[in-house]
Structure 1
Amino acid sequence: MNYTLNQLRIFLKIVEKQSVTKASEELHLTQPAVSIQLKNFQDQFEIPLTEVVGRKIYVTDFGKEIAEAAEQILQQVDTISYKTLAYKGRLFGKIRISVVSTGKYVMPYFLTDFLRLHPGIELEMDVTNKNKVIKSLENNEVDFALVSILPDKLKVDTIELMQNKLFFVGNNEEQFKGKATMEKILKNRPLLFRELGSGTRLTMQNFIEKNNIKVEKKMELTSNEAVKQAVLAGLGYSIMPLIGIQREIQNNDLRIIPLKGLPIKTNWNLIWMKGKNHSPAAAAYMDYLRKNKDDIINNRFSWYENFN
C-alpha cells in the first residue's frame, strides 16, 4: 500500500458528497484530477471501493469501512499538527460556522484578519438556508451560526455585527409614473421569493402581511443569486438584501424602487447555544470579534452603512 494523505482526504470527500463533481468543487480541484486520485487510490485494493450505476457513484460496504479508517487516520494527523502548534505556543483548532446564504457576503470579512493572526486555526463554513443553519446549531454540529432573524425556540447568546437592509428592486426596463405601489408594480411581473426555510423569504412574508399587500403572481427560487439573476433578466421583482447587490446597483443594472416601509432593517447576529463550552479557538474568536467588529464595519462596510 502506498496511498497518500491527499488521496484519503479526496476519497472521504467523495464518500461524503456521493459525487466526484461535488467533491471536486468543495476541494477546489478539477474533476479529472479528483477522478485520477480516486482511481490511484482504488487500484491499491483488490476489492472495489466504489461502483458506478448509470451515471451515479455508489460507495461499497468495503469502501465505507475504508472511509471510516481514513477518517481516523486523518484525525490522528490533525492531532499531531495541533500538538506541534500547541508546543510552539500557538493557538490551534477548528472553528465551525453555519451561515445563512446572504451571510456569505458578510462573514468572510469578520474572519480574514483573525485567521491570518492564527494560522493554526482551521475554518469550516457551511452556507445554507435559515432552517438548516438553526438545525445544525441545535444539533451542536457547529460552534456559531450567522443569522439575520434570531430563532424563537432556542436559547442563544449573540454578538450583533451589523445591519441587514432589504430593498424592493427591479431591473431598468420599466419606468413608473406617479406614485408607485408594490401592488401596481406587480400587475406586470411576479414577485420572486426564496424557498421555504429562507430568512429572506420570512422577512418578505412578514412585510407583505403587515402591509396587507395583495400578491397575485409569485415565483420561487432556491438561492439569492438565482433571484438576482432573475430580476436582472426582467423575470420579476423582489425584496433583496442590499449586501448582495452592491455591484449591480452601482452599475445601474438593478435599481431600488422606493416604497413606503422600506428598507426593511434587521441585524446580522453571530449566535451560539447558551451554555456552550467553547474550544480555545472559538473563545479566542469571540474575544476578537468583540474588540474588532466596529473597525471591521468601518473599514469594510462604510458604503453599506451610509446607504439609505
Structure 2
Amino acid sequence: MDDPGDKITLRQMQIFLAAVESRSFLRAAEKLSLTPPAVSMQMSRLSECLGAALFEKEGRSVRPTEVATALVPYAARMVETLHEAVQVVEALQGRIDTQVRVAMVSTARNFGPQLMQEFRKRHPEADLQISIANREGVIAALEAGRADVALMGRPPSRVEVTAHQFAKHPYVLISHPDHPLARARRIRRGDLVHMPFLVREPGSGTRMVHEHFFRAADLPLPRAQEMDSNANIKQSVMANMALAFISAHTIALERQAQKLAVLRVEGMPQLRDWYVLHLSRRPPGPAARQFVDFVRTEGPAIMQGLFGPDFGAEA
C-alpha cells in the first residue's frame, strides 16, 4: 500500500505554513513569490494526500481546520530541519554566517544595545538584529526561530536551552523621594503589607520578586495595580502613586536625577542572574556563537562599567 506521505513535499509544507500564518492564499503567494492559483493547487494536493480538508473559506480569507492546526508543529519542524541542514552545509563550505538575531526582555534594553554595539566594534561584518519583548515574547521568538540568541533572566523551563550566566541582576524596592519610607533606616516586610504597589504581568521577573518577597515571610500580598511596562511603573512611582519592585538596572538615570529612592528593606536587594542563551536543539550559527562567547567573556566588565561593581547592592 502506498504511503500518503511519499507524495508530500517540503515545498508544500512551506506553502502550508505561509497560508496558515497569513490566513490568505493571496498573501501567502505574495510572501513566497508564487501565484495564488499555484498556492491553491498545492494546498489541494496536500489535502488529497492527507485525506482531510486543511482550509475553509471565510470571505476573502481562509481559516485552518482542526486538522491543519494539528499539522502546524510537524510542518514547522520539517521546514526548520531543512533550514538547519542548509546552514550546516554552508558552514562546512566555508560560508560565514554573519547574522545575529538577539531577542531581549524589556528590562535588558538598559544594557543589551550597548553589548551589541561593543560586539559590532569588534565584528563589523556581523549583521546584528535586535528585538525587545516581554518574557513570553522572547521565548516565543526563540521557539519560532525568529531569534538565535536571547538575553533574559531566569531561563525558560518549558523548552530546553543552553544558558550562560554573565552578570548579577539586583532587584530593589523604589518609592518617590518624598515618600515617608524613603527616610527610614530599616523597613520590615510587615510594614509594607498595607502599602499600595505597582506590578508587572504574571510570570515577569519583577512580579515573581514581588510575590516571593511577601510569601516567603507568610505575609499576604498587598493591594497592587498591574502595569504593562517598567517605564509606566517608574513614571507612576515618580508621581508618588505607589511602591514597586524593579530591576536596579532600569533606574540608573532616575536615581542620579533623584527622581526615585531605593528603600532600605530587609531582604532586599534580591539578586538574580542575567543569562545569554539559545535553544539546545538549535545551535546558533558562527556569528551568533561569537556573540554568545563575547557576552560570556566581556559582558561582566561591560556591565560593571555601565552600572558599577556594587550597583543596587545597598540595603
Q: What TM bracket, shorter-length normalisation?
A: 0.5 to 0.7
SS at match of 1:159: strand
Alignment-derived partner of residue 260 in structure 2: 254
How much has 1:192 moved relative to structure 2? Answer: 0.5
Deviations 1:101-143 (A, max 9, x none): 1011121222112112333322222211112222222333311
2:188 is aligned with 1:181: yes
CA contact (8 A) 1:190 1:216 kept: yes
Alignment-derived partner of residue 226 in structure 1: 232
Deviations 1:151-173 (A, max 9, x none): 22332212212111011110022
- Structure 2 distance, partners of 1:269, 1:102, is 13
Alignment-derived partner of residue 86 in structure 2: none
CA contact (8 A) 2:102 2:131 kept: yes
- Structure 2 distance, partners of 1:275, 1:135, is 15
Alignment-derived partner of residue 112 in structure 2: 107
How much has 1:244 moved relative to structure 2? Answer: 0.5
- Structure 1 distance, partners of 2:186, 2:271, is 23
How much has 1:179 moved relative to structure 2? Answer: 5.4
2:151 is aligned with 1:135: no
- Structure 1 distance, partners of 2:256, 2:170, is 16
Unaligned 5+ segments in structure 2 are 1-22, 35-90
- Structure 1 distance, partners of 2:306, 2:140, is 30
Alignment of 1:43-58 (within 5 A): none
**Paired residue type of 1:230:** S
Alignment of 1:62-77 (within 5 A): 65-69=29-33
SS at match of 1:111: helix
Alignment-derived partner of residue 217 in structure 1: 223
Alignment-derived partner of residue 3 in structure 2: none
**Paired residue type of 1:125:** I
- Structure 2 distance, partners of 1:197, 1:225, is 18
Alignment of 1:72-221 (within 5 A): 93-176=98-181, 180-185=187-192, 187=194, 189-221=195-227
- Structure 2 distance, partners of 1:118, 1:178, is 48
Q: 1:178 to 1:163 in 2, by over 3 A?
A: closer
Q: 1:193 to 1:277 in 2, by over 3 A?
A: same
Asked which structure has the greater CA Rg, the reply is 2
Name the % identity. Answer: 23
Q: 1:222 to 1:64 in 2, by over 3 A?
A: same
- Structure 2 distance, partners of 1:246, 1:295, is 17
SS at match of 2:290: helix
CA contact (8 A) 2:148 2:284 kept: yes
- Structure 2 distance, partners of 1:298, 1:175, is 32
- Structure 1 distance, partners of 2:312, 2:206, is 22
Calculate the TM-score normalised by the size of structure 1: 0.66
CA contact (8 A) 1:243 1:304 kept: no
- Structure 2 distance, partners of 1:182, 1:234, is 20
Moved over 6 A (4+): none
**Paired residue type of 1:131:** E
Unaligned 5+ segments in structure 1 are 1-58, 71-85
Deviations 1:62-95 (A, max 9, x none): 566445449xxxxxxxxxxxxxxx9xx9955221
CA contact (8 A) 2:115 2:302 kept: yes
- Structure 2 distance, partners of 1:63, 1:150, is 36
How much has 1:304 moved relative to structure 2? Answer: 5.1
2:294 is aligned with 1:288: yes
**Paired residue type of 1:296:** I
How much has 1:185 moved relative to structure 2? Answer: 4.1
